[in-house]
């Protein structure tokens, strides 16, 4: 009898956790974009604007002056501010720094759906792309896709740096800062 009660309690807990997982959806919104340093090209025409007066999106054009190959390293690091008061603490959400060709082979194919038909970026095959060609690129109405974020990410304000360095001396050539707000919204059935 006691074993049956424990089993019923366990089943109720598991069902409750499943329901709780789906009661909220994660929402991410861009706040602003800054180019802190660039020796790779001109990124001054990228902006965060509002699409339909409600959704923040990235729009604009930029120029990359060199072909990005394995003589460059690319990585993303993030920090969180719980209150939005610019007191950011580094968190373990990152894309580790690695040579550009390896970075594209590891991440680009799986995440290119975010900018398909919204930019003139080259299509990246599963085996990756090397080098990433220099040129002028445009991006239009790309919103932050929260489905790509871990569901356990706490609410707050986030700053993620995209860094590009030259190898082997690791001289920084580009630093872009992306600021966003992540929050959860109750799903109404």
Q: Which ranges of the chain have pLDDT less than 70?
A: 1-22, 189
pTM recorded for the entire structure: 0.82
The CATH fold of domain 2-100+131-186? Ganglioside M2 Activator Protein; Chain: A, (2.70.220)
Q: What percent of the chain has pLDDT above 70?
A: 88
Report CA torsion sign: 136, 54, 144, 83.
positive
Which residue bears the tokens 């060709």?
101
**Structural domain boundaries of the chain?**
2-100+131-186
Q: How many CB atoms lie within 10 A of CB 157?
A: 20
Q: In the prediction, which pLDDT does 11 show?
A: 55
Sequence-separated (6 or more) residues with CB below 8 Å from residue 49: 56, 57, 59
Q: In the prediction, which pLDDT does 64 show?
A: 94
């Amino acid at each position: 009898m006691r074993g049956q009660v424990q089993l019923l309690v366990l089943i109720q807990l598991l069902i409750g956790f499943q329901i709780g997982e789906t009661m909220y959806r994660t929402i991410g919104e861009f706040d602003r974009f800054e180019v802190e340093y660039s020796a790779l090209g001109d990124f001054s025409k990228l902006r965060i604007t509002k699409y339909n007066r409600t959704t923040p999106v990235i729009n604009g054009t930029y120029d990359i002056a060199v072909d990005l190959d394995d003589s460059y390293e690319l990585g993303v690091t993030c920090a969180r501010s719980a209150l939005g008061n610019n007191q950011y603490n580094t968190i373990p959400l990152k894309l580790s720094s690695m040579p550009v060709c390896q970075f594209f082979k590891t991440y680009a194919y799986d995440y290119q759906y975010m900018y398909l038909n919204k930019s003139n970026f080259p299509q990246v095959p599963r085996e990756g792309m090397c080098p990433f060609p220099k040129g002028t690129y445009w991006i239009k109405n790309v919103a932050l896709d929260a489905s790509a974020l871990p569901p356990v990410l706490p609410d707050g304000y986030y700053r993620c740096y995209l860094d590009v360095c030259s190898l082997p001396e690791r001289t920084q050539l580009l630093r872009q800062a992306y600021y966003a707000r992540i929050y959860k919204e109750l799903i109404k059935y």
